[in-house]
Amino acid sequence: MAKNKQHQKNRAMPFKKVSHTTQERCYAVAKKLLRHFELDPDLLDTFSKKQKQLLLSLAFENPSIKAEKERTVPGRFVKQIREDVFKYMKTEFFGEPENKLTFIDMIIYGMSFYKTFLFFTDEGRFVGTPQEETVKQIFAKLEKSHLFCCGDSFIDLRRYLVLQTRSYSQVNFRLYGFKLDWEFRENKIPVNGIFPMRMKIQLTAQDCQSRKFIFNNIERKAFQMIYTEDGSDEQACGAVIQRKLIFPDVKEEENLDIWIQSHVLHRFKQRVDIYQPNYRNFLLQCSIIHEQHLIEFDNQQYMVCTIDDEESPIGYFTFFIRGFDMVINTFIPLMGDKTPEGKKIRKLLSLSRDDIIYLGMDKLSFLTAIDFEQIPSLKQALIDAGIWKTKLAIDDDPDKYKINTSIDEKRTKFVKNFFDKTEQHRTDLQLPEILS
């Protein structure tokens, strides 16, 4: 009877063995994890063979990436995001790159060691053993790390997921976000009494909301900017900006809802022409929702659009205020006639607004297509106007985000001829004065 009961118990709770190869992989990653927490990785070798078999059990599975609700995120988007995220996990590192602990190893093998170590320590498995002091030393570090708090522990992965989901979001149609958590796999066979777990990434969707606003006696539709889920505990909500950023003297702590007109998207596409459509989506949302740098120039306020920080603008958003709403109504290029940089470059080179457009200087591709070494006066003017630092920041951006990064010799020749003729014209005008 006792044997039959034990047999039935074993059938009810099957036991999964861990292969030697898997344990070797867990062992290598566990050492890297100890090094990450500034512990001596050789501490792992103080455990007995049986203890290692417990600690190096594979308690975590591959991450899951799928839509939270069916038919809310297009299948091709889910597939591409999954491929890109797994590629990121396999090539980028958790913690210091010198430790070479990839995200995928950390999420599977590192978290397995982390969970089993805390589990068996809480269970008192190491009390009274020669390794008790070593366990206390490791436990003190691991317990404080709170690795199950995805938002803090995996911040770089969260940022990459924000890039991915925002890239597929269109503010005038549908916006995407994600939830990040761990889930128990209770339908799976436990390992050493521990049910497997895995990281769960759920892609979420939010349809856009629209309203009509009147400006200069013209009524136009605008779409609400939405702060979608980003792996934290925050729920999707309308994006806001503090009223104090626009009106510094206001006393009330009020927020303004942010709206954007379709015209902005059209101008943004025209003028930020060097980036892939997906990355343009990200840049637009990042500048308006997350960065929110404002400047004032010639009695006009602008919201800065940047690619890394406020020191490298690629253009400016204009807006108007209606009650508790901020409505973005156009996008002006970096070298436009109403921007700080545009005014400087026009003065330095004696250019008109039509010249800027004629030369294509109102598009970002001007900064990547022209060989400025052939036009020293233009390069110096870009430096003096504060535009050159934006060009350098663009050059530093990964090529995968750009449409074309090569120099256009034909376009360079066209621009060079223009400035050569301009210089010659100036010389001709000055000669009579010199001769007199």
pLDDT of residue 67: 97
Q: Which DSSP state fits 230?
A: B
Confidence band for 16, pLDDT divided at 50, 70 and 90: low
Confidence band for 430, pLDDT divided at 50, 70 and 90: low
Q: Residue 400 class from Cβ within 10 Å (0-12 exposed, 13-18 middle, 19+ buried)? A: exposed
pLDDT of residue 66: 97
Q: Which residues pair with 219 in a beta bridge?
A: 214
Q: Which DSSP state fits 172?
A: T
Q: Per-residue pLDDT tens for 235-254?
A: 999 999 999 999 998 877 89
Lowest-pLDDT range, 11-15, 66-70, 176-180, 265-269?
11-15
Which run of H or E residues covers position 313?
strand 313-322
Given a cut of 70, whether residue 41 has pLDDT beyond it is yes
- Which of 235, 242, 209, 212 shows the shortest CA–CA distance to 224? 209
The token pair that represents 120 in the structure block: 């068996």
pLDDT of residue 85: 98
Confidence band for 311, pLDDT divided at 50, 70 and 90: confident
Confidence band for 419, pLDDT divided at 50, 70 and 90: very high
Percentage of residues in the chain having pLDDT higher than 90 = 77
The token pair that represents 300 in the structure block: 């006009």
Contacting residues for 167 by C-beta, under 8 A, at least 6 apart? 278, 279, 281, 282
Given a cut of 50, whether residue 7 has pLDDT beyond it is no
Give me the mean pLDDT over the 261-287 stretch. 96
Q: Which DSSP state fits 56?
A: T
| CA 394/CA 314 separation, integer angstroms | 9
Q: Which long-range contacts (CB under 8 A, 24 or more apart) does 213-217 make?
A: 213/259, 213/261, 213/322, 213/325, 213/327, 215/320, 215/327, 215/329
Strand order from edge to edge, sheet including 64-67 = 64-67, 197-207, 174-184
Give me the mean pLDDT over the 411-436 stretch. 73
Q: Please work out, in degrees rounded to the nearest 5, the angle formed at the alpha carbon of residue 257 by the alpha carbons of 255 and 262.
A: 150
Q: Per-residue pLDDT tens for 363-417?
A: 999 999 999 999 999 999 999 999 999 999 999 998 889 998 889 999 999 999 9
Q: Per-residue pLDDT tens for 73-132?
A: 999 999 999 999 999 999 999 999 999 999 999 999 999 999 999 999 998 999 999 999
- Domains of the chain, residue spans: 10-206, 207-333, 340-435
| CA 121/CA 23 separation, integer angstroms | 19
Confidence band for 307, pLDDT divided at 50, 70 and 90: confident
| CA 290/CA 300 separation, integer angstroms | 22
CA atoms within 13 A on the CB side of 216: 4
